[in-house]
Chains A and B, each alone.
Chain A
């Protein structure tokens, strides 16, 4: 993926999940910490590819909201 398209995709992704939280009542318990963790996990997988990213890594990232 082109770098500019990749950055644009990241921006769109963040905007979309923020909009979903605003729009959908079921996500009301999720806050900025969760959004950051989701976007970090998304970016990490997008950049490193599915082969290099294990599901357990993503679970730890989102569950513990740790930095990579």
Chain B
């Protein structure tokens, strides 16, 4: 960025004045109270919206007799020419030159939006400018007196670390969600584990063996005809169960040709849901945009209403600022605002339509999700029933083979009637009891297996959440390491650069510089001994601070110019010469704007573009 002109309207002590600036060194020279620092302030205020002296209200910079003041700069950047104006009343206008005419690119009163625009377009950031581009009077002493935490905050803003800290906080919030999810899954796992622990398989095998023995004994004692009758009854029962299960399975498949067909449908719906996964975000963005547009329209309506009231009041002067009411201008502004409002209303309508569509899409997706859930349940039921059917079929097959075996034996054996009726009844009752117990155990086993499946799914979910938690921990630790690396990566070259300038200016002896220990405040070790900055002489402090500024500008970047407000203040003749040399070296690569009232500086910077100021200027 090359500054070409400073333009002032009722700003500071100036009524209306422009000051041309050149490439190289620009010396703003004049006595006290001639407005030198006002020009420095004007450049800083135009670029940042803040007075260069902290804790001063922007309105204090206007001309005391005026309602508001405007500062502006004309500059070239990226091969284009621009004019940037900023009023103390917050309005900002950016113009660019095209075909010998200035066109408005940006016109707004929102501070935040303007900051974003200037940062995106020209890389301008308040903290960066203050630390790497401008030197205001007394700044060095303020910097030395700042608390370490304040300097750390500045460093964080410069390196974007404050944003990284925000991202880390969001990851910590996310970790809370993952922890909650983990708790829920663990509770589910515990409930399932309790039920899944009762293993019945051994008991079932034992009862089946016992039952077989009893049935054999019963068959031997009562004659096979009674046993066969029992088996046939059991076979009938099983067949009925099989028919019922087959019927239920067919019902589960209702509407589908077979299970493959159902599974295909599940996969299709899953794909459709996957494709529509970004709908919430899109809808949320639309809602935000609608909210923004509605507030903008409301603001425009308020402005139009106020202006119309002023027009209709017939007053000659504005009741707030007492300036003359220029009706044509105000009418034109009202028309422009109305046009703007109309345009935003059209935009709002389009967004509302889109929101309706997106809401419909979202509802459709939710319906699909419900449908998916139903189909997944049906698919699981189908599989469960298929397992049950297989078990019954196996049992039926075993029964059939036993029946066929017994049928053969029946023909070969004679009926036995040696036992009493009481013994037979006891044996029969024992068999019935064991069968009941076996049925109960088998049912319990089916439930257990079902829960075992659910437990396996819960275990898999738990492992997944565990991994997510680990990922989030890694994400946070990664941010801490990134902050350390960023500081190291940026501050180390800054230290080297500072060292280079200290050597160049021959300020101290053998010096080691550390910018990290005290968050930007240089820690000096001169000839192997730590030196407190407070014990340096005034001129040493000034040179060290300027070198530090240039070093930071080298690694963090600055807009391409330096503005130094009276850098030779309190320096003796020898040090003034050194400062003039410093400025000349700086001007080899950058545009430099310097203010001074010192004749020695004027002589030393002979050949620089001179802006001479007087108290009458």
A26 contact from B119, B178, B470, Cβ within 8 A: B470
26 example contacts (A-B, Cβ-Cβ < 8 A) are as follows A2-B119, A2-B160, A8-B489, A9-B160, A12-B482, A12-B489, A16-B478, A17-B474, A20-B474, A30-B470, A30-B471, A34-B467, A37-B471, A41-B171, A42-B475, A42-B479, A45-B167, A45-B171, A50-B166, A50-B167, A53-B170, A58-B174, A62-B471, A62-B475, A63-B178, A63-B464
B159 is an interface residue with CB less than 8 A from chain A:
yes
Closest to B288 in A: A52
Contact A13 to B482, CB < 8 A, known contacts A5-B160, A55-B176:
yes
B171 contact from A12, A49, A52, A58, Cβ within 8 A: A58
A20 contact from B159, B166, B477, Cβ within 8 A: B477
Q: Which of A37-51 contact B (CB under 8 A)?
A: 37-38, 41-42, 45-46, 49-50
A49 neighbours in B (Cβ, 8 Å): 163, 166
Measured CA separation A63–B485 after assembly (Å): 27
Q: Which of B145-189 contact A (CB under 8 A)?
A: 159-160, 163-164, 166-167, 169-171, 173-174, 176-178, 181
B173 neighbours in A (Cβ, 8 Å): 55, 58
Q: Which of B427-479 contact A (CB under 8 A)?
A: 464-465, 467-468, 470-472, 474-475, 477-479
A66 neighbours in B (Cβ, 8 Å): 277
- CB of B174 within 8 A of CB of A38, answer no
- CB of A12 within 8 A of CB of B174, answer no
Tell me how far the C-beta of B458 lies from the nearest C-beta in chain A, rounded to whole angstroms. 15
Interface centre among B163, B281, B557 (most CB of A within 10 A): B163
- CB of A16 within 8 A of CB of B177, answer no
A17 contact from B163, B177, B278, B475, Cβ within 8 A: B475
B607 is an interface residue with CB less than 8 A from chain A:
no
B318 neighbours in A (Cβ, 8 Å): none
Contact A12 to B471, CB < 8 A, known contacts A59-B174, A66-B277:
no
| Chain B interface, >50% SS class | helix
Measured CA separation A13–B571 after assembly (Å): 46
A1-44 vs B: 1/0 string, CB under 8 Å?
11001101100110111011100001101100010011001100
Chain A positions near chain B (C-beta within 8 angstroms): 1-2, 5-6, 8-9, 12-13, 15-17, 19-21, 26-27, 29-30, 34, 37-38, 41-42, 45-46, 49-50, 52-53, 55-59, 62-63, 66, 68
A56 neighbours in B (Cβ, 8 Å): 174, 177
Tell me how far the C-beta of B554 lies from the nearest C-beta in chain A, rounded to whole angstroms. 15
A53 neighbours in B (Cβ, 8 Å): 170
> Closest 9 CB pairs between A and B?
A1-B160, A55-B173, A17-B478, A16-B481, A58-B174, A55-B174, A45-B167, A50-B166, A63-B468
Tell me how far the C-beta of A66 lies from the nearest C-beta in chain B, rounded to whole angstroms. 7
A38 contact from B160, B169, B176, B471, Cβ within 8 A: B471
- Contact-residue bracket for chain B: 35 or more
Tell me how far the C-beta of B170 lies from the nearest C-beta in chain A, rounded to whole angstroms. 5
A2 contact from B123, B281, B464, Cβ within 8 A: B123
- CB of A50 within 8 A of CB of B169, answer yes
A27 contact from B178, B468, B470, B479, Cβ within 8 A: B470
Q: Which of B115-141 contact A (CB under 8 A)?
A: 119, 123, 125
- CB of B475 within 8 A of CB of A46, answer no
Measured CA separation A9–B557 after assembly (Å): 16
B468 contact from A26, A45, A62, Cβ within 8 A: A62
15 more contacts with CB within 8 A, not counting A20-B474, A62-B468, are A8-B486, A9-B486, A13-B482, A17-B475, A20-B477, A21-B474, A29-B467, A30-B470, A30-B471, A34-B471, A38-B475, A42-B479, A50-B169, A55-B176, A59-B468
